[in-house]
Amino acid sequence: MTVVVAAAGFGLVTASVLAIAAVAKGHWLILIIGLAISIPLVVFGASILSKLMNRFPIIVYIGAALIAYTAAEMIVSDVKLAHYLAPYAIIIKIVVTVGVVGLGYIKKRRLSKKEK
């Protein structure tokens, strides 16, 4: 779990650096101040989130459900698919969300049984 959070933290730091560089538009002082503020916030936030996820695993399932729902929303609102999927939009969102969370739960149970 810690490796995943560290990788996600690295990705967030990278995205943060790119966003700040875009906003700074060549102003070095803005870039340095932005990085000095954002990188510790991302690292500190990832550390806190990692501890919370270890203590309250439900947070992982809530995050997975949010990402799955967002993915389903993107699928049903796609320009080329919306016409065909619109009547089934809520069903697709529910199936994708429950499916992702359910598969995650099943995989976690299988892994914990192997460890015993």
pLDDT in tens, 7-60: 766 777 788 788 888 888 888 998 889 888 888 888 788 788 889 988 998 999
E strand or H helix at 114, and its extent? helix 89-115
Q: Name the one residue in this structure whose structure tokens are 């806190």.
A: 48
Res 71: pLDDT:
95
Instruction: For residue 53, count CB atoms less than 10 angstroms from its CB and return exposed for 0-12, middle for 13-18, buried for 19 or more.
Output: middle
pLDDT at 116 over 90: no
Q: What is the mean pLDDT of the chain?
A: 88
Phi, psi of 56 (to 5 degrees): -125, 85
Cα–Cα distance, 78 to 86 (Å, whole number):
10
Helical axes 89-115 vs 58-76, angle rounded to 10°: 150
Question: Of 99, 28, 34, nearest to 69 (Cα)?
Answer: 99
Cα–Cα distance, 44 to 54 (Å, whole number):
16
pLDDT at 1 over 60: no
> Which of 11, 35, 56 is the endpoint of a domain?
56
Full residue range of the structural domain in which residue 67 is found: 57-116
pLDDT at 6 over 80: no
Asked whether residue 34 falls in the same domain as residue 80, the answer is no
Asked whether residue 73 falls in the same domain as residue 103, the answer is yes
Asked whether residue 52 falls in the same domain as residue 104, the answer is no
